[in-house]
Amino acid sequence: MNPRILRAAGRAAVPWKNGGGVTREIASWPEGAGTADFDWRISLADVAADGPFSTFPGVDRTLTMVEGAGMDLTVGGRRALVDERCVPADFPGDLPTHCLLPAGPVVNFNVMWHRERVSASVAVVRGCLPVPVPPGTTVVAVALESRATLGSATLAPYDAALLAPEAVTGESAAVTGESAPGPGSVPLTLRSEGAAALVTLRRAVRR
């Protein structure tokens, strides 16, 4: 398995769909998809002021605050307090969501996916962990708090490693990045003293 390393340096800051903040995309599929036509999208978002989040019809999302002191969200009329770093919070991306910043700006690690096309899960881990990639899945590892290693690759904060993109996309994903050597089918080991995120993506099962 040859993970593709996606470096944080040089990522472009793109305004939100509603203009209320900026996002730096880490990876998405299809490659180059906009905010209206992605199957899945992983990014970092800078939230600098109170205001609404963009809405995305048919999309679920997991938001993980990685910098800042907290957000007081109202999602579909219900309060959702996010006041701990590196704790994933799940909510529908198609419900009206308003954000208050009681203690100033935050940065969020954001995973979004179209629920009819893809299923996704986000785990935040520390320490040493094998990272298997079962058939039919893509796994994205992201260093959040400190440097991490995945196999022989070193990840600086907010660098990412993309494993087995063809499993979700159905074809080889041409995502720009470096190829890191991998040990065949043996699971790579993720090592991180600080928090790291593991995002697992699967094709949705149609019924």
Predicted local distance difference test score (pLDDT) of residue 19: 72
| pTM of this structure | 0.88
Q: For all residues of the chain together, what is the average pLDDT?
A: 87
pLDDT at residue 180, rounded to an integer: 47
Give the helix/strand (H/E) hosting 106.
Answer: strand 106-114
Give the mean pLDDT of 21-25: 90
SS3 192: strand
Ordered domains of the chain (ranges, CATH): 11-114 (2.60.120.10), 117-203 (2.60.120)
Question: Looking at residue 158, what is its pLDDT?
Answer: 97
Q: What is the DSSP letter of 3?
A: P
What pLDDT does residue 207 have?
53
pLDDT tens sequence across 171-180: 333 343 444 4
Check residue 66 and give its pLDDT.
97
Instruction: Enumerate residues 6+ apart whose C-beta is below 8 A from 18.
Output: 52, 53, 54
pLDDT at position 134 is: 87
Predicted confidence (pLDDT) per residue in 158-205, tens digit: 999 999 655 344 333 334 344 444 444 578 999 999 999 999 999 876
Distance between CA atoms of 31 and 38, rounded to whole angstroms? 8
pLDDT tens digits, residue range 112-159?
Answer: 999 999 999 999 999 999 999 988 899 999 999 999 999 999 999 999
Within 10 A of 178 (CB to CB), how many other CB atoms are there? 11
